[in-house]
């Protein structure tokens, strides 16, 4: 049974007795914990088919410790779907996703499809999925992992203790704004056009999520815009200020231009707690934030709708250059499965178990190629499959 985010928002608005202030939205998709869950699995392209079985192994091991089972339905998305079905987002995949309790995805894309027309590109499938499932709230945590501080390109004192949550709007902005396209004018000049556009309700719903997230963290929220130049950003800022007044009690709200934010993130990232931004600014800043913690290979994400299942996926791409070599790092996808347990399945114990197991495996010195320090005798280089096996074994051990 699902409890919709929209209903929760409406309910919390309706239930508060005046003059109590409105509450922010709440991020949960399932009404109560279950013994068994239907999960749509989207391995996608590149390293996806390697990190997916490693993740499934760890997740199943975690479920076993609490008598929770998973019914996986593997479906095609992205390049593999283009090759087999002639479309990056097959109807069958959409149907499976709609019927699932939650969706666990690996990664899509690769040079093989880069030259395709837009409708036959893997990314087009991903964007269609986001839009059709209404995945407007993208949560991208960037938390420094003590065992990996030296893997960051920034100084230890800059990254130690970094704990940022980027709340990125995922269904609007220049990604979906119309009109869009490439056209030729009467003089024969070609133009490329996209429209950076947000409606007030679109800004309001993501701002509510950000207030809720900030309230559950350190209570600081920085809203990113380019209001000194862009009208769409001025509206963004005005609406965020209004929503903060309505349901942001306890939250200290600040505003930053996106160019300054890009600089501040590498200058002194510890000034940030929760960051809320539109789709394109969030795309760029979340990649930047991920580098703070050492490796893109470590970061999970959640994309949540107001109703129905969310999608949980690592932030990293499909890394086609190392696909098929067993060199990929499955930890970001395993941590994405942990976020799924937390946000969609209401199984916080399973989430914690997976996170603790990942930490314990890192503590024991096991590293995939992307996070290994060559020459450090305390570290052991392992492949993708072995890393999955190690986390699964650690899960069982920790729960025993």
> What residue ranges bind Mg ion (CB under 5 A)?
283
Smallest gap from residue 283 Cβ to ligand IPM (A): 5
**Which pair of tokens denotes residue 255?**
């505003």
Could you say which of 71, 150, 259, 321 is catalytic?
259
Which CB atom, from 57 or from 316, has the smaller least distance to ligand IPM?
316
Which CB atom, from 125 or from 294, has the smaller least distance to ligand IPM?
125
Smallest gap from residue 296 Cβ to Mg ion (A): 10
175 is catalytic: yes
Which CB atom, from 328 or from 361, has the smaller least distance to ligand IPM?
328
Q: Which does 82 bind (CB under 5 to 8 A by kind): ligand IPM, Mg ion, none?
A: none
Spatial CB neighbours of 122, under 8 Å, sequence gap ≥ 6: 44, 45, 77, 78, 79, 81, 82, 88, 108, 109, 110, 113
Could you say which of 13, 73, 163, 287 is catalytic?
287
| Per-residue exposure over 174-185, b if at least 16 CB sit within 10 Å of its own CB, e if not | bbbbeeeeeeee
Q: Which does 68 bind (CB under 5 to 8 A by kind): ligand IPM, Mg ion, none?
A: none
183 is catalytic: no
Cis peptide before 318 (omega within 30 of 0): no
Could you say which of 226, 343, 344, 394 is catalytic?
226
Smallest gap from residue 367 Cβ to ligand IPM (A): 25
Beta strands in 31-145 (DSSP E): 36-44, 69-74, 102-107, 137-143
**Which pair of tokens denotes residue 266?**
């590498």
Could you say which of 45, 57, 175, 225 is catalytic?
175
Cis peptide before 179 (omega within 30 of 0): yes
Q: Which does 123 bind (CB under 5 to 8 A by kind): ligand IPM, Mg ion, none?
A: ligand IPM
Which CB atom, from 123 or from 307, has the smaller least distance to ligand IPM?
123
Smallest gap from residue 126 Cβ to ligand IPM (A): 5
* Contact criterion met (CB below 8 Å) for 368 and 389: no
Largest CA distance in the chain: 74
Smallest gap from residue 279 Cβ to ligand IPM (A): 7
CA distance 53 to 87: 24
Which CB atom, from 134 or from 219, has the smaller least distance to ligand IPM?
134
The residue written with tokens 């709708």 in the block is 305
Which CB atom, from 123 or from 163, has the smaller least distance to ligand IPM?
123
198 is catalytic: no
Q: Which does 173 bind (CB under 5 to 8 A by kind): Mg ion, ligand IPM, none?
A: none
Distances (CA, A) of 116 to 39, 45, 69, 82, 113: 30, 16, 40, 10, 5
Spatial CB neighbours of 211, under 8 Å, sequence gap ≥ 6: 24, 25, 221, 243, 244, 247, 248, 251
- Could you give the 3-state DSSP secondary structure of residue 191? strand
Q: Angle between the 348-363 and 331-343 helix axes, to the nearest 10 degrees?
A: 160
CA distance 304 to 21: 25
Which residues of the shown chain bind ligand IPM in the complex (CB under 6 A)? 123, 126, 283
226 is catalytic: yes
| Nearest of 351, 381, 327, 390 to residue 33 by alpha carbon | 351
83 is catalytic: no
Which CB atom, from 284 or from 360, has the smaller least distance to ligand IPM?
284
Q: Which residue is nearest to ligand IPM (CB)?
A: 123
Q: Which does 126 bind (CB under 5 to 8 A by kind): Mg ion, ligand IPM, none?
A: ligand IPM
Residues with a catalytic annotation lie at 175, 226, 259, 283, 287
């Amino acid at each position: 049974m699902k409890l919709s985010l929209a209903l929760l928002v409406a309910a919390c608005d309706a239930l508060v007795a005046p003059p109590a202030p409105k509450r922010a939205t709440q991020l949960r998709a399932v009404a109560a914990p279950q013994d068994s869950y239907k999960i749509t699995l989207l391995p996608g392209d590149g390293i996806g088919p390697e990190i997916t079985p490693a993740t499934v192994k760890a997740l199943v091991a975690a479920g076993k410790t609490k008598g929770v089972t998973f019914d996986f339905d593997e479906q095609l998305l992205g390049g593999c779907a283009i090759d087999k079905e002639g479309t990056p987002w097959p109807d069958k995949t959409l149907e499976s996703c709609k019927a699932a309790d939650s969706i666990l995805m690996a990664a899509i894309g690769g040079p093989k499809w880069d030259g395709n027309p837009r409708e036959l590109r893997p990314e087009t499938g991903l964007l269609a999925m986001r839009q059709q499932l209404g995945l407007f709230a993208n949560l991208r945590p960037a938390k420094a992992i003590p065992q990996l501080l030296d893997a960051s390109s920034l100084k230890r004192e800059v990254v130690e203790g970094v704990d940022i949550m980027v709340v990125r709007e995922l269904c609007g902005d220049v990604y979906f704004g119309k009109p869009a396209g490439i056209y030729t004018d009467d003089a024969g000049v070609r133009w490329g056009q996209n429209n950076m556009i947000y409606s007030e309700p679109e800004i309001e719903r993501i701002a509510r999520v950000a207030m809720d997230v900030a309230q559950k963290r350190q209570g600081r929220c920085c809203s990113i815009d380019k209001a000194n130049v862009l009208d769409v950003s001025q509206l963004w800022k005005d609406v965020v200020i209004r929503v903060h007044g309505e349901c942001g009690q306890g939250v200290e709200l600040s505003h930053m231009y996106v160019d300054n934010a890009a600089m501040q993130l590498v200058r002194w990232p510890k000034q940030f707690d929760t960051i809320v931004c539109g789709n394109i600014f969030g795309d760029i800043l979340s990649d930047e934030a991920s580098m703070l913690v050492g490796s893109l290979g470590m970061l999970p994400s959640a994309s949540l709708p107001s109703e129905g299942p969310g999608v949980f996926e690592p932030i990293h791409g499909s890394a086609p250059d190392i696909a098929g070599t067993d060199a990929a790092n499955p930890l970001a996808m395993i941590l994405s499965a942990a976020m799924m347990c937390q946000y969609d399945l209401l199984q916080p114990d399973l989430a914690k178990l997976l996170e603790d197991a990942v930490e314990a495996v890192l503590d024991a010195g096991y590293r995939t190629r992307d996070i290994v320090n060559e020459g450090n005798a305390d570290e052991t280089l392992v492949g993708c499959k072995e890393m999955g096996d190690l986390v699964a074994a650690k899960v069982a051990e920790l729960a025993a």
